[in-house]
Amino acid sequence: MKRTKLTTSSRSFREDTLPFKLYQKAKKFGVWNPVDINFSQDIEDWKSFTSIEREVLLRIISLFQGGEEAVTLDLLPLIMAIAKEGRIEEEMYLTTFLFEEAKHMEFFRYTLDQIGETGDLTVYHSETYKSIFYEILPEAMENLIHDQSPEALAEAATVYNMFTEGVLAETGYFGFYQTLEDNNMMPGLLKGVGLLKKDESRHIAYGTFLLQRIISEHPHIFRQVEKRMAELAPLAIALNMEGYDRFGNPFDNDKQAVLDFTMKQLTVRMEILARAKGKKIEEIYQSNEKEYGVL
C-alpha cells in the first residue's frame, strides 16, 4: 500500500473535527497522576468498615480493576484499524485513550495497595463478569486484527464504548457515588473516580462518534448495533444484581436507582446513535463535544 502524507501537505490537521478536539482536551485534562492522590483518610475509613462492607467495596474495585486491565489490553486492534485507514486525527486521539486506560488500571491497583489489600480478587469475578471481560470484549476487539469491515468496527465500538464504558462503567461510577459520597467516605478513591469519569466521557464520545460515522456511511449498521445492545442488556442487569444477591446491602443503597440508571444508559446510548441516521458525514465530524456529554 502506498501511503499518502497528510500533515506535510496543504491539508494539515482537521482541527475542526471532534477527534482533534478530544485530543486537545485529553492533553489538557487527562494528565493526572494516581500517586498524587492523598489516601490517608481512605486508609482510616477502611479500618472502620465491617468485614461485609469491605467485601462489597472490594468486589466493586475488583470489577473496575479487572475491567480497566481488559480495556487496556484490548484497545490496540482498534488503534491499528483506524491507523490503517489513515484517519490521523482519530489515531492521535486514540493514543491518549490508551494512555488513560493504563492510568485507570494503575489507579485502582494503587488504591488497593494503599489500603493494604494485596490478595487475589478474581474471586469476585462472576461467570457473568467473565463472559463480558474474558470472552465477549477481547473477541470483539481481536477480530479487528483480520477484519476491519464496518460491521466489525461497529461490533467493537458497541461492546467496548457503548456497553462496557457507556453502560457498565457509568453505572459503576453511579454506585461509587451512592455508596461513598453519600456516606462521606474514602475521599481519595472518590477523587480518582471523578478524574477517571472525565477521561471516560471522552472515550465514550469517541466511540459514539465512531459509530455515528459508520452508521452515516452504512445505515444498516444501526440495526446491528441496536440488536447487539439488546443482547448485552441482560448481562448488565445481572452484573448489577449479583452484588446485592451475594452481600446484601450494608451501605443501604437505593437498589432500584442503580437498576434504573442502567436501563437509562442503555436507552440514552441508542437515542444518541439514532441521531446519525440521515446526517451527512461532515456534520458528524464537526459535532460539538457537549453533544456527546464530554466533561
Residue 252 has pLDDT above 70, yes or no: yes
* pLDDT at residue 36, rounded to an integer: 98
What pLDDT, in 10s, does the model give residues 121-161?
A: 999 999 999 999 999 999 999 999 999 999 999 999 999 99
* pLDDT at residue 176, rounded to an integer: 87
What pLDDT, in 10s, does the model give residues 174-213?
A: 988 888 988 889 999 999 999 999 999 999 999 999 999 9
* pLDDT at residue 293, rounded to an integer: 86
Mean pLDDT, the chain, as a whole number?
A: 93
Q: Give the rounded percent of residues in the chain with a pLDDT score beyond 90.
A: 79
Number of structural domains (the chain) is 1
Range of the domain at 203: 37-290
Tell me if 187 is assigned to some domain: yes
Output the domain CATH number for residue 248.
Answer: 1.10.620.20
Q: For residues 156 and 78, is the Cβ–Cβ distance under 8 A? A: yes
Tell me if 20 is assigned to some domain: no
pTM of the model: 0.94
Tell me if 159 is assigned to some domain: yes
* pLDDT at residue 290, rounded to an integer: 86
Tell me if 248 is assigned to some domain: yes
